[in-house]
Amino acid sequence: MPRIGTKKLYQTLSQPLKEIKIGRDKLNEIIKANGMLVPPLRQYKITTNSRHHFPKYKDLVTGSKIYQPEQVWVSDITYINGNDKYFYLSMITDAYSKKIMGYSLGDNMNVELVIKSLAMAFNNRQYKTKLIHHSDRGSQYCCKEYQEKLRRMNVVTSMTENSDPYTNAIAERINGIIKQEFLLERRRHSLIELKTMIDQAVYAYNKLRPHLSCHMLTPDRMHQQRQLDRIEYRNKFISQKANV
């Protein structure tokens, strides 16, 4: 986890750091003094084509109360700069626990890419609660084949209703974590190499990396319980404590 950040690094190493009397502020000073602070990467590439003839769906998530895992899944596609071309990563993330439920990497953005990540997410599903799938209005999500898959799984469709990609804020945030914190674009890689790196990154993200919006639990641990309030990235969603 090469770009984990000082807060999460301190949480992970808190016990040995306490033994040598180093607090979070002191750790930050040490990291800064040694030139180890890494500036954020800012890159953006449009991966959504909403100019298509497929039906579009209403936004059922913005302003709703998300209080348990597998109530809402958010899905998005991002790009990764490879050896001599762009590769595309489709991910499905649980909006409550921030756990990556399914993912798929390919050299194009066809519907098979998102169907593979959906199949993995469905295989990893643990609860039988009513589930909403939220995404942008890209043709991959709106097309008949993908929507039929959702209907067969008894999953309700929700989509953003304007052209701002950041209305799907959770999915965008997880994209950035996987790409930037795990240095997937530091050197150019082949598709096979990137698949291995993404497998490792998703494992570390779900099971090892403390998450600020999960009360510093890992997404995997957050997903195993339903008592904690969900901490939001933005005020786009309203949290509510679960009644368990």
pLDDT at 228: 93
Are 79 and 153 in the same domain? yes
Q: Look at residue 156 and tell me if it is in a domain.
A: yes
Please answer whether residues 52 and 141 qualify as being in contact, where contact means their C-beta atoms are separated by less than 8 angstroms.
no
pLDDT at 227: 92
Q: What is the pTM of this model?
A: 0.76
Q: How many CA atoms lie within 13 A of 30 on its CB side?
A: 11
Q: Helix 144-152 vs helix 111-123: angle between axes, to the nearest 10 degrees?
A: 10
Q: Each residue's pLDDT tens digit in the chain (244 positions)?
A: 776 777 777 778 878 888 888 887 787 788 778 877 766 655 555 555 555 567 889 999 988 889 999 999 999 999 888 877 889 999 999 999 999 999 999 999 899 999 999 999 999 999 989 999 999 998 999 999 999 999 999 999 999 886 555 557 888 889 889 988 888 877 778 899 999 999 999 999 999 999 988 999 999 999 999 999 887 755 444 344 333 3
Are 124 and 77 in the same domain? yes
Are 109 and 171 in the same domain? yes
Are 17 and 128 in the same domain? no
Q: Look at residue 235 and tell me if it is in a domain.
A: yes
Q: Whose CA is closest to 222, among 35, 66, 10? A: 66
End-to-end CA distance of the chain: 34
How many domains, in total, are found in the chain?
2
Are 17 and 84 in the same domain? no
pLDDT at 33: 82
Range(s) of the domain holding residue 33: 1-39
Are 72 and 180 in the same domain? yes
Residue 204: φ, ψ to 5°: -65, -40
Longest CA–CA span in the chain (Å) reads 62
Are 149 and 213 in the same domain? yes
Are 85 and 193 in the same domain? yes
Please answer whether residues 6 and 30 qualify as being in contact, where contact means their C-beta atoms are separated by less than 8 angstroms.
no
| CATH classification of the domain holding 137 | 3.30.420.10
The span from the CA of 100 to the CA of 190, in Å, is 23
Amino acid in position 218: T
Q: Whose CA is closest to 235, among 71, 95, 67, 63? A: 63
Q: Look at residue 47 and tell me if it is in a domain.
A: no
Are 115 and 198 in the same domain? yes
Q: Look at residue 1 and tell me if it is in a domain.
A: yes
pLDDT at 164: 54
Are 28 and 69 in the same domain? no
Q: Look at residue 60 and tell me if it is in a domain.
A: no
Are 172 and 219 in the same domain? yes
pLDDT at 240: 40
Q: Look at residue 28 and tell me if it is in a domain.
A: yes
3-state secondary structure of 66: strand
Q: Look at residue 170 and tell me if it is in a domain.
A: yes
Are 125 and 7 in the same domain? no
